[in-house]
C-alpha cells in the first residue's frame, strides 16, 4: 500500500472515530460495540411516523445496513410526524425519500429500499436478511404479519404503536414471547380508529420511534436491559411512562408450545372481521370515572376469558368471561377487558337486557397507563 493510501486510510479512520466519538467513549459501547453496529443489519418496517425517528437515529448511530420497507408515497399530510421526508419529497416513494435523507445524514450507512408493503409472500425473504426488526407499521394486519414472521425466523422484534397522545413499546426476543402473547387477536375491524381518523401528536411518534432505536441499538451493541417482558405505556398528556409485565403464553398460536400458525397467513382477511352488531352502543366511562366508581364499591366485571384474567387484572375485578351475566340483580357494573372493545360489546348486551352497565374506555391498558393498581402480568 502506498504512503498516500495509508494516509487516506488514517484520515478515513479518524473521520469515522470523530463521527461516533460521543458514543464510542461510552465504555458500555466502546470501539467494539461501534464495530458491531457497523456490521449489523436492521429492517425498519414502515417509513412513516415511528420509522422516521427510528431510522434517523439508527443511521446516525452507524448501523451498517438499514432496510426500509414501505409501499407508500409521501403526502403533505404525513409531514407533521414523518420527519424523514421533506416538503420537496411529496409524491416520491417513501423508501426513496428515506434513502436520500439517511445518506445525507450518514453516507457510511447502506440503505436498502424495499419499495412495497410486506405481505405473506414477501415477508420471510425480506426479513431473513436482517438481524433486528423495528416495526413502525400502522395497521394490525402488518403488525401481526411482522410479528409472526419474526417468530418464525427467530428475529428480535422492537414493536411500537401510537395514537392521539399515547404510545406503547415492547421488545421481543426469540423464545421470550411475542406480540400475539399479549394481543392474541386483533380488535374487530372498525373498532380501533387509525391515526388518520383519531389523530396523533407528531412528536409522540418521535418519542416512541426514538425509543425503538434505543432498544435496537441495545440489542445490537449488547448493552443495557432490553425491554423484554415489559409493555411500556406512554401517556404524553401527563408525560408519564408506565410499565406492565408481560409473559410468553405457552398457548400462543405462533410462539407457544404447540403453534397452530407455522407460516404467514392472510392477515388482511384475518384482521378484517367486523365486530358483531351490538343492539345499542355501550356507555363508556373514563379511567378517572371508573376509579371513582370502584372506590364507591361498584362491581367491576372482567369479561375476558379466565386464562387472560389470571395473568393480570384490576384488583377487585371479578372474572365473568364474555358470556356471563352479573350474579346480582339490578346493581350497576363496570365491564372491563384489555382494550375496552370486548367490554363495550358486553356492556351494550347487558344494557339491552335491562341491566345498568358501562364499559371502561381504553380497558386495562388505559388503567395501567394512568398508573393505577394492577395485579399480575399480561
Ligand atoms: Zn407468542
Mean pLDDT of the chain: 92
The alpha carbon of residue 337 and the mean position of all alpha carbons in its chain are separated, in whole angstroms, by 19
Q: State the helix-helix crossing angle for 94-105 and 49-60, rounded to 10 degrees.
A: 30
Average pLDDT over residues 246-275: 91
Neighbours of 238 (CB within 10 A): 12
Q: Which residue has the higher pLDDT, 280 or 206?
A: 206
Which DSSP string do the residues of 120-142 spell out, in sequence order?
TTTHHHHHHT-SEEEE---SHHH
Which DSSP string do the residues of 298-334 spell out, in sequence order?
PEEEE-S-HHHHHHEE-TTPEE-TTT---SSSS--EE
Please give the distance, rounded to the nearest whole angstrom, from the Cα atom of residue 250 to the centre of ligand 1: 8
Q: Which residue has the higher pLDDT, 322 or 201?
A: 201
Question: Is the dihedral angle over the CA atoms 40, 41, 46, 52 positive or is it negative?
Answer: positive
Please give the distance, rounded to the nearest whole angstrom, from the Cα atom of residue 378 to the centre of ligand 1: 12
Sheet strands side by side (includes 240-245) = 110-114, 65-69, 41-45, 132-135, 157-163, 166-172, 230-235, 240-245
Please give the distance, rounded to the nearest whole angstrom, from the Cα atom of residue 178 to the centre of ligand 1: 4
pLDDT-derived band at 126 (thresholds 50, 70, 90) equals very high
Round to whole Å and give the CA distance between 204 and 196: 15
pLDDT-derived band at 9 (thresholds 50, 70, 90) equals confident
Q: What is the pLDDT of residue 197?
A: 77
The alpha carbon of residue 233 and the mean position of all alpha carbons in its chain are separated, in whole angstroms, by 10
Average pLDDT over residues 255-272: 93
In this model, does residue 159 exceed pLDDT 80?
A: yes
Which residues are 300's β-sheet partners? 334
Which residues are 73's β-sheet partners? 93
CB-based neighbours (< 5 A) of ligand 1, an ion:
178, 180-181, 252, 255
Average pLDDT over residues 247-253: 94
CB 355 within 8 A of CB 333: yes
Average pLDDT over residues 200-214: 97
Cα distances (angstroms) measured from residue 184 to each of 30, 136, 273:
40, 19, 15
Q: Is 337 annotated as catalytic? A: yes
Q: Which residue has the higher pLDDT, 108 or 189?
A: 108
pLDDT tens column, 68-101: 999 999 999 999 999 999 999 999 999 999 999 9
Please give the distance, rounded to the nearest whole angstrom, from the Cα atom of residue 176 to the centre of ligand 1: 8
Round to whole Å and give the CA distance between 166 and 205: 9
Please give the distance, rounded to the nearest whole angstrom, from the Cα atom of residue 27 to the centre of ligand 1: 35
Rg of the chain in Å (alpha carbons)? 23
Q: What is the pLDDT of residue 25?
A: 95
Question: Is the dihedral angle over the CA atoms 58, 62, 68, 74 positive or is it negative?
Answer: positive
Place of cell 394490525: 140
Average pLDDT over residues 129-143: 96
Maximum pairwise Cα distance, the chain: 92
Where are the domains positioned within the chain? Answer: 15-271, 283-376
End-to-end CA distance of the chain: 60
Q: What is the pLDDT of residue 279?
A: 47
Strand ranges (E), 53-126:
65-69, 110-114
Catalytic residue among 178, 252, 255, 337: 337
Catalytic residue among 195, 252, 255, 271: 195
pLDDT tens column, 20-70: 999 999 999 999 999 999 999 999 999 999 999 999 999 999 999 999 999
pLDDT tens column, 163-188: 999 999 999 999 999 999 999 988 87
Which residues are 335's β-sheet partners? 301, 359
Span 15-271: which CATH code? Answer: 3.40.50.720
**pTM greater than 0.85:** yes
Round to whole Å and give the CA distance between 15 and 19: 6
Q: Let me know if domain 283-376 sits in CATH 3.40.250.10.
A: yes
Please give the distance, rounded to the nearest whole angstrom, from the Cα atom of residue 174 to the centre of ligand 1: 10
Average pLDDT over residues 128-143: 96
Percent of the chain at pLDDT exceeding 70: 96
Please give the distance, rounded to the nearest whole angstrom, from the Cα atom of residue 179 to the centre of ligand 1: 6
Q: What is the pLDDT of residue 1?
A: 62
pLDDT tens column, 92-105: 999 999 999 999 99
The alpha carbon of residue 318 and the mean position of all alpha carbons in its chain are separated, in whole angstroms, by 29
pLDDT tens column, 305-345: 888 898 889 998 999 988 876 655 667 899 999 989 889 98
CB 237 within 8 A of CB 286: no
Amino acid at each position: 500500500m502506498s504512503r498516500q493510501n495509508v494516509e487516506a486510510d488514517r484520515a478515513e479512520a479518524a473521520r469515522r472515530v470523530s463521527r461516533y466519538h460521543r458514543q464510542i467513549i461510552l465504555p458500555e459501547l466502546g470501539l467494539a460495540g461501534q464495530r458491531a453496529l457497523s456490521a449489523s443489519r436492521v429492517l425498519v418496517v414502515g417509513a412513516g411516523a415511528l420509522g422516521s425517528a427510528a431510522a434517523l437515529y439508527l443511521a446516525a448511530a452507524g448501523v451498517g445496513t438499514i432496510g426500509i420497507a414501505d409501499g407508500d408515497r409521501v403526502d403533505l399530510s404525513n409531514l407533521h410526524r414523518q420527519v424523514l421526508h421533506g416538503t420537496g419529497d411529496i409524491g416520491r416513494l417513501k423508501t426513496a425519500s428515506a434513502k436520500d435523507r439517511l445518506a445525507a445524514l450518514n453516507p457510511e450507512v447502506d440503505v436498502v429500499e424495499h419499495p412495497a408493503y410486506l405481505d405473506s409472500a414477501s415477508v420471510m425473504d425480506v426479513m431473513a436478511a436482517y438481524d433486528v426488526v423495528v416495526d413502525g407499521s400502522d395497521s394490525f394486519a402488518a403488525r401481526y404479519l411482522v410479528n409472526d414472521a419474526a417468530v418464525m425466523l427467530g428475529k428480535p422484534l422492537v414493536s411500537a404503536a401510537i395514537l392521539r397522545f399515547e404510545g406503547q413499546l415492547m421488545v421481543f426476543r426469540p423464545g421470550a414471547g411475542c406480540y400475539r402473547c399479549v394481543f392474541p387477536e386483533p380488535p374487530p375491524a372498525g373498532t380501533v380508529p387509525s391515526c388518520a381518523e383519531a389523530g396523533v401528536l407528531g412528536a409522540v411518534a418521535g418519542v416512541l420511534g426514538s425509543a425503538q432505536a434505543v432498544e435496537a441499538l441495545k440489542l445490537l451493541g449488547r448493552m443495557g436491559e432490553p425491554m423484554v417482558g415489559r409493555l411500556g405505556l406512554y401517556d404524553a398528556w401527563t408525560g408519564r411512562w408506565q410499565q406492565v409485565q408481560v409473559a410468553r403464553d405457552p398457548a400462543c398460536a405462533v410462539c407457544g408450545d404447540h403453534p397452530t400458525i407455522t407460516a404467514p397467513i392472510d392477515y388482511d382477511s384475518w384482521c378484517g372481521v367486523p365486530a358483531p352488531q351490538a343492539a345499542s352502543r355501550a356507555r363508556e366511562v373514563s379511567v378517572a370515572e371508573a376509579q371513582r366508581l370502584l372506590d364507591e364499591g361498584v362491581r367491576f366485571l372482567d369479561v375476558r376469558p379466565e386464562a387472560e384474567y389470571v395473568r393480570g387484572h384490576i384488583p377487585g375485578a371479578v372474572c365473568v368471561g364474555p358470556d356471563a351475566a352479573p350474579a346480582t340483580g339490578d346493581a350497576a357494573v363496570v365491564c372491563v377487558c384489555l382494550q375496552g372493545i370486548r367490554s363495550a360489546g358486553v356492556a351494550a348486551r347487558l344494557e339491552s337486557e335491562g341491566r345498568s352497565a358501562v364499559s371502561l374506555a381504553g380497558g386495562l391498558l388505559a388503567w395501567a397507563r394512568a398508573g393505577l393498581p394492577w395485579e399480575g402480568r399480561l
